[in-house]
Chain A
Amino acid sequence: MINIFSQLMMDANKSLYGLTIEPQNASKGPVVLGNGDFFIEIPVAFGCAFSDLTLTGANGTALPTAAELIDKGIETGVGSRMCNAIKVACYYLEAGLIAKPDMIITSNSCCDSMTTLGILMNGYKPWADVPKFTMDAPHSFDEESYRYFGQQLRNAVTFMETATGRKMDWDRLREVCVESNKQRQLLLEFQELKKAVPCPADPDLARQGTEYTTWTFDRVTPTVTAWLEQLVTATEQRVKEGKGIDGVNEKVRFLWQDLAGSWASGTVLARLQKELGAVCIMDYVSYATWTPIDLTSEETMFTSFGKRFLLEDAMNRQALHTADLFCNDILQIVKEFKCDAVIMPAHIGHRDTNSRLKIVRDVCRENGIPCLIIGMDIWDKRYMTPDVVFDRMKTFFEVSGLI
């Protein structure tokens, strides 16, 4: 059935196609190439394209040729347990399929695979003459860290100015930040609405909204703001009417403490929702804690950027910091969003998360929260097929007495 929500999903998905290799290669310059999250408001205000090779690789795993691309990635010689999104990115790079960028900005971001990709990009011989800048992300979250990383981002702006001979338009940056603040507020609003029981709209819209806002060609534009406003207004209406997701008889609410990857949403999670009434209320990308960018001065702006990058962006929050923050987020989400269970997909490429599995299990046990650890590959369904993941989760919900 086509309703406002499916229409919104289609709009966002269309836009996500832009993250695949061909549209990325066709980006109009100057092009900054990165290996993970960059503070996207900066290139938008600077008037240049930002292409995230990690995302291009990740989107490769959603193509019909995914298996072939992953296998070619393995042939480039990277570790077999490395994240498959990165393997595809490595293949694209080593095979010379990525258009030469005007500059490269990398960082030691949240995962070892991304850092490896950054090293590969920086050492790629055909791009020896491309100007490069590496940011240093501290693994801590306090005011000093935000200021420190904010300064790294400020230095990145200077680097971009030197590399292109252009100057940052500070008024434009402010304008972009105002739009960004509006969008984050709306995403937070949608997040709050997911607390309603039954959940009023497919929670996956939060993930799609975040990706639409941050990663696509439409990022930080009024088009996305209008999309978000529509989403929130339609969802508020359903909360008022006490309605849940169309065609879903909600019985179980669970937290999926990882990325949904390229195949889980459309297969396992959709099937669980439809067949068992088990709704995935939250995942890594949709959990939002964004603080608005403080526009008081240039310094406060960049400190806000630093905070958002280090503590509030998807995956950086979960992967860059301590097990304590990770576990507290789980407890907070379970309590506030009334989740009945925690699913740890334990994606094979997320070694940071996998090192915490026992801790999470202990914490869940202490707090009486049913917890299932799977051990799958969110980019490669050959590792554990969607049917197997579905069956495991179904059995888990049954033995936990949730269905």
Chain B
Amino acid sequence: MDVYDIYIEKYAAAVDEMYAKGRKIKFTQVPSSISEIRKNICVKVGEKGNSGVILREDTFIELGNPEMGSCSILLYTDKPAMLNDGRITLTGPDINDSGVNNLSLDEIMNAGSLHSNDKDLAELACLSKNKKEIQSFPFAQIIMIGGKELTEKDFDSLREILIVGDQIEGYMVRSFSENIWSRVSKHAVAKGFNFETLGKALMILFKSANPKIESMEVGFVTTNKDDISILKEYSNQIQKISKEIVKENWKIKGYEIDCNSDCNTCDDKPVCDDIREVLKDKMKKNRT
């Protein structure tokens, strides 16, 4: 299972390139085991982790509103050593750096764990007057998974884990096609939710759901639309590979989901032609 390996390398190269361009990059290393990760995470993760819908007024920030740029990539390999297990890479600002204009002063002061500074608080005082527009980051999420026993057949189950639903407290992925568009609640940010938290939560969800996973890295990019579009281009190529895997997996189940043949090359053309003739005759008889 090495079809995505080149894109794992390309992503690493893209991060290097962004670093060379002066983008802020933050690496975090978290433990390998699920139980160790769970010990040090500020939100609930698992079924019904999030108690409900995150309303507009409860939203601290949106990630990947399509107007800002959005991209979600899932890559996996049967060479777990290709990945640095437990690494979370953030390229660009963190959630806490997004300004605090959506959070009320009380919420900030009561939260305690928010890494605000004097400048943030001063900004907050000016901007916390119920600003209606929800702030949004451009957002790319890259999930990379390694496991010696992972094969093409695991694609469907890994893809399903990506449907996060209500499993992360204070985090809601909006129903959307192709890309990712999510919301982080003010309440979660007040508890200290940031990209490290999101990375850890995703590691818990993936590692719990599939025991074949031996190593996992998560990358986030929040810089700008241009950086996202580079990754989006990779994503388009990756989708083509994924479509082929999907086709093969359906074939194993006995279904041909993408019929590329045309009538002139089909082996069953004579049968269809005969049926057509019979129908023509029948219609003629009906008319007379």
Q: Give chain A's interface residues, CB within 8 Å of chain B.
A: 142-143, 181, 188-189, 191-193, 195-197, 236, 239-240, 288-289, 291-292, 294, 311-312, 317, 322-324, 328, 331-333, 335-338, 359, 362
Contact = CB atoms under 8 A, between A and B. Distances in A.
B269 interface: no
Where chain A touches its partner, the secondary structure class is helix
A192 B254 CA distance: 35
Contact of A292 (B53, B66, B239, B240): B66
B177 A312 contact: yes
Given A142-B240, A323-B257, A332-B175, A239 B55 contact: yes
A309 to B, nearest CB: 13
B255 A192 contact: no
Q: How large is the interface on B (under 10, 10 to 19, 20 to 34, 35 or more residues)?
A: 20 to 34
A323 B250 contact: yes
Given A239-B53, A289-B175, A311-B177, 9 more contacts: A192-B53, A193-B55, A240-B55, A291-B179, A317-B177, A323-B250, A331-B163, A336-B173, A359-B255
Given A292-B67, A336-B165, A324 B257 contact: yes
A185 to B, nearest CB: 9
A195 B53 contact: yes
Where chain B touches its partner, the secondary structure class is loop
Contacts of B178: 311
Given A289-B176, A323-B250, A359-B255, A332 B56 contact: no
Nearest to A317: B177
A191 B240 CA distance: 29
A335 B255 contact: no
A303 B258 CA distance: 24
B52 A197 contact: yes
Contacts of B160: 331, 335
B257 A322 contact: yes
Interface in B240-271: 240, 246-247, 250, 253, 255, 257-258
B236 interface: yes
A236 B55 contact: yes
B174 interface: yes
B83 interface: no
B17 to A, nearest CB: 22
A77 to B, nearest CB: 9
A335 B258 CA distance: 26
A6 to B, nearest CB: 23
Contacts of B239: 142
A324 B53 contact: no
A332 B163 contact: yes
A131 to B, nearest CB: 31
Contact of B53 (A142, A196, A323): A196
Given A236-B56, A239-B55, A192 B174 contact: yes
